[in-house]
Structure 1
């Protein structure tokens, strides 16, 4: 009898654990989404209490997930890194499967200009707070971009001296999404002309 009661209690706990875990994950995502939106709107000066309010969670909940603002920005940057690397990896995979590397590079430049403001704000806020994460983003992204550059060189599409670092320089000078579409397209065209053979 006692054993059955214990089994029922253990079963009850097992059933409740995934619900708590799912709720915790939802809260974490809401916090990260709110942080991205507020960083985009107001910069890194936004307060943790404001982020909690925007996320619809208690301040204590926010601090349980992210004890400091540095932790929160680092987590937001880690998510951004995964998205960026996944996008460049997808482009590299398409090139490996026969896609035009120049078209993929153009697509990456277009995406870089028009990517969400929240992503840019997270990266800007992280500059002084999470330099290790920024370096990881760059190195992992470069590794995937190297694949595209290698194929483009093998097909004779790039000037021989062009490297992945040159594309990083182009990316660093990319205009923001306030540029009119025609001017943005012209910038991309000129950037590509500077590297194509």
Structure 2
């Protein structure tokens, strides 16, 4: 039985450059961003781009998958800070802010993915993010800061309704206004 060979360093580097350029080009030009322009922005030959991503749908799916992996990594790092003693509500609020800011630039990529019907194939990163967010919520509920009825679905609802088309000050204000709705304190005030 032969072992799979690790990708060459230049292939890994080229893939990273292509994904970064694709994200930038799609953000700037929407789903119509051309593969030639993406290759040029990445500093690679078009053939190199097509070896990594045979179709634009494959490329856009990989860009979306990379975004989901970054969110999952951030969620797990946030959970690790809570495990080390940070307050869950503070960390969850900061996490929300980071994801919303990342979504500002990734909004066009997500639109392109929808337009092209691109679906990232591996749900492992989505599952990792969901598990970490669920654990953050439970930690905040245990601390008494997060209301007992808050769910991962509520956090995803916040992500989907964030004003990513607004300037940074408006996004920060939105987070300031909605975050207290997750707390036990705000709910006691309603009663």
Fold equivalence (TM over 0.5): yes
TM-score using structure 2 length? 0.83
Counterpart among 53, 77, 83 of residue 90 in structure 1: 77
Contact 1:114 / 1:177 at 8 angstroms: preserved in 2? no
Q: Deviations over 1:39-85 (max 9, x none)?
A: 11011111111111222222111111111111111222222222110
Counterpart among 149, 153, 159 of residue 165 in structure 1: 153
Count of matched residue positions in the alignment of Structure 1 and Structure 2: 179
Partner of 1:11: none
TM-superposed CA distance for 1:117, in Å, is: 4.3
In the alignment, is residue 28 of structure 1 matched against residue 15 of structure 2?
yes
Q: Deviations over 1:137-180 (max 9, x none)?
A: 54332111001001111112122211111111111111126325
In the alignment, is residue 151 of structure 1 matched against residue 139 of structure 2?
yes
Contact 1:40 / 1:117 at 8 angstroms: preserved in 2? no
Q: Find the aligned partners of 1:132 and 1:51 in 2 and give their Cα distance.
A: 19
Contact 1:95 / 1:101 at 8 angstroms: preserved in 2? yes
TM-score using structure 1 length? 0.80
Contact 2:75 / 2:95 at 8 angstroms: preserved in 1? yes
Contact 1:113 / 1:177 at 8 angstroms: preserved in 2? no
